[in-house]
């Protein structure tokens, strides 16, 4: 089974940074969903998600981003994706995810979105 590793860091300005590594699919999307839900409960709605080491995302994994982005935007926040791999970029483009939130090449650009 493919695994998903998450590294989570909260910045002093209240932005939550999440680094994803591995596969995000139907077997483990709940891990990422739980991270978003935990931070929503704490009042955090601004996320920078580095997907540069995410090698695969399924439609259920992408659905986590779509649902979380909706909750973020309802609270004047958002999710900014950083450096998607070509494989992940292709899946996100096919699913229309890029129309929902910004995608940037560097973390500094992500911070500027807020």
Please report the pLDDT score of residue 2 as a whole number: 72
Q: What is the CATH number of the domain that holds 21?
A: 3.30.750.24
Is residue 107 classed as helix, strand or coil in its secondary structure? helix
pLDDT tens for residues 24-76?
999 999 999 999 999 999 999 999 999 999 999 998 999 999 999 999 999 99
Please report the pLDDT score of residue 7 as a whole number: 96
Please report the pLDDT score of residue 79 as a whole number: 95
Q: Which residues contact 19 (CB under 8 A, 6 or more apart)?
A: 6, 7, 8, 49, 50, 53
Q: Which residue in 36, 27, 98, 104 sits closest to 58, CA to CA?
A: 27
Counting the structural domains of the chain, the total is 1
Mind giving me the DSSP string for 31-97? HHHHHHHHHHHTT--EEEEEEEEEEEE-HHHHHHHHHHHHHHHHTT-EEEEE---HHHHHHHHHHTG
φ, ψ of residue 82 to 5 degrees: the values are -120, 130
pLDDT tens for residues 75-112?
999 999 999 999 898 888 888 887 888 889 988 889 88
- Asked whether the predicted pLDDT for residue 10 surpasses 60, the reply is yes
Domain of residue 60, residue span: 4-112
Structure tokens at 21: 């590594």
For 3-24, what is the mean pLDDT? 94
Share of the chain above pLDDT 70, in %: 99
Is residue 110 classed as helix, strand or coil in its secondary structure? helix
- Asked whether the predicted pLDDT for residue 1 surpasses 80, the reply is no
């Amino acid at each position: 089974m493919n695994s998903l590793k998450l590294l989570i860091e909260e910045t002093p300005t209240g932005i939550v940074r999440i680094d994803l590594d591995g596969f995000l699919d139907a077997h483990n999307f709940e891990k990422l969903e739980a991270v978003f839900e935990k931070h929503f409960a704490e009042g955090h709605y601004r996320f920078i998600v580095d997907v540069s080491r995410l090698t695969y995302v399924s439609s259920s994994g992408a659905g986590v981003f779509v649902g979380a982005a909706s909750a973020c935007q309802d609270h004047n926040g958002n999710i900014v994706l950083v450096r998607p791999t070509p494989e992940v970029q292709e899946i996100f483009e096919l699913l229309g995810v890029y129309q929902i939130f910004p995608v940037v090449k560097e973390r500094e650009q992500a911070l500027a979105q807020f």
